[in-house]
Amino acid sequence: MENLKQQLKEQIISALNLDDLQPSDIQDDAPLFGEGLGLDSIDALELIMLLDKQYGIKIADPKEGKHIFASVSTMADYIMAHSAK
């Protein structure tokens, strides 16, 4: 699980062009959107694409992303529960 979270942070940084951030800058439970990292709706779409490309998980309704992408921890939980790979 810790490995998955670390890997996710690296993938998020790369997918969202967060070049100035290190994986250690992103806390497991800190909110990714709004008050936390401050991501927006396009980032949510990029994360949907990331789940598809890296973990084979398809999300058809972008509204679902809100809960899945709350934090790195919630993303990791979702991947563990739904990963096809």
Partner 1 sequence: MNTRIVITGIGLISAIGKGRRETLEYLLQEKTGVSSIRLLPTKQKELPVGEVPYSNEQLADLASWDINQPITRSALMGIIAAREALQQATLMQGHTKNMAFLNGTTVGGMDITETFYRDEKNKYSFLPFHETGACTTEIANALGGFKYQTTISTACSSALNAVIRGTELLQKGEYKQVLVGGTECLTRFHLNGFRSLMILDSQPCRPFSNDRNGLNLGEGAAYLVLETEQSALERGVEPLAYIAGYGNRSDAYHQTASSPDGEGAYLAMSDAVSMAKVSVSEVDYINAHGTATANNDQSEAMAIKRLFGENKPLVSSTKAFTGHTTSASGSIELAICVLCMQGGFVPANLNMNEQMPESDTLNIAKHTIKTKLRYVLCNAFAFGGNDSSVLLSSEPADLPLLKEIKRAKVVSDKMASDEADIKQYMSAMEARRLSKSMQQLYVVAMEAIKESGLKPTDIDAIICGTRFGCIDYSLQILDAILTSDESDLKPTLFMQSTHNTPASMLAIKTKNHAYNCTYSHCEKSFQDAKQDALDKIQTGMINNALVVGYDEQCEKWQDLMKNSGSEYQPQIRAIVIL
* Three state DSSP letters for 31-44: CCECCCCCECHHHH
Assess 18 for contact with partner 1 (CB under 8 A). Answer: yes
Among 25, 34, 45, 80, binds partner 1 (CB under 8 A): 45
CB-CB contact of 35 with 71 (8 Å): no
CA distance 57 to 34: 24
Interface region with partner 1, contact rule CB under 8 A, candidates 1-9, 10-18, 28-36, 74-82:
10-18
Among 38, 56, 58, 80, binds partner 1 (CB under 8 A): 38
Assess 10 for contact with partner 1 (CB under 8 A). Answer: no
Helix axes 41-55, 2-15, angle to 10 degrees: 130
Which CB, 2 or 19, lies closer to partner 1?
19
Which CB, 22 or 80, lies closer to partner 1?
22
